Amino acid sequence: MLIIIGHQVLCMRGSLSFSTKSATLLSESLKSRIESMISSAPVVVFMKGTQQEPMCGFSKTVKLVLDFHDIRFKDYDVLSDEELREGIKIYSDWPTIPQVYVNGNFIGGSDILVKMHKDEEITDVFEKEGIKTKFSDHEK
């Protein structure tokens, strides 16, 4: 699925749609585990460290942007699980961590979230997914 915001196109990949290449590289048990994690909360972030203690600047940036907008999220620390760290990259066909999922859809990493924030589009994206932010009730 593609979402167009202004002149920007965000790639959103549903949790059930991944490349054929990904399917052959992931075991069924790992794929099932990742899908269970992705569906465990409306907003899920695979990050280095935790919300309480991010272990890299990009993970900290995602946490700060989501916190700024009062968006609650479930975190999974990929540093504590090598299989998950490599598996989530294969699953999403995205080479970096952190990775942000909204209602099971992959929306991107730190750079995409920061751009959505700077372009004042993050509230619209999350509202379309039924998730309120700090700015949901403010007039534009």
**Where do the domains of the chain lie?**
2-128
Architecture of the CATH domain 2-128:
3-Layer(aba) Sandwich (3.40)
Q: Which residue has the higher pLDDT, 103 or 3?
A: 103
- Residue pLDDT, tens place only, 112-137: 999 999 999 999 999 999 999 999 88
For the whole prediction, is pTM greater than 0.95? no
Over range 70-94, report the average pLDDT.
98
DSSP H stretches of helix in the chain:
20-25, 28-38, 57-68, 82-92, 110-118, 122-128
- Residue pLDDT, tens place only, 1-48: 444 443 344 544 444 444 455 556 899 999 999 999 999 999 999 999
pLDDT value at 138 more than 60: yes
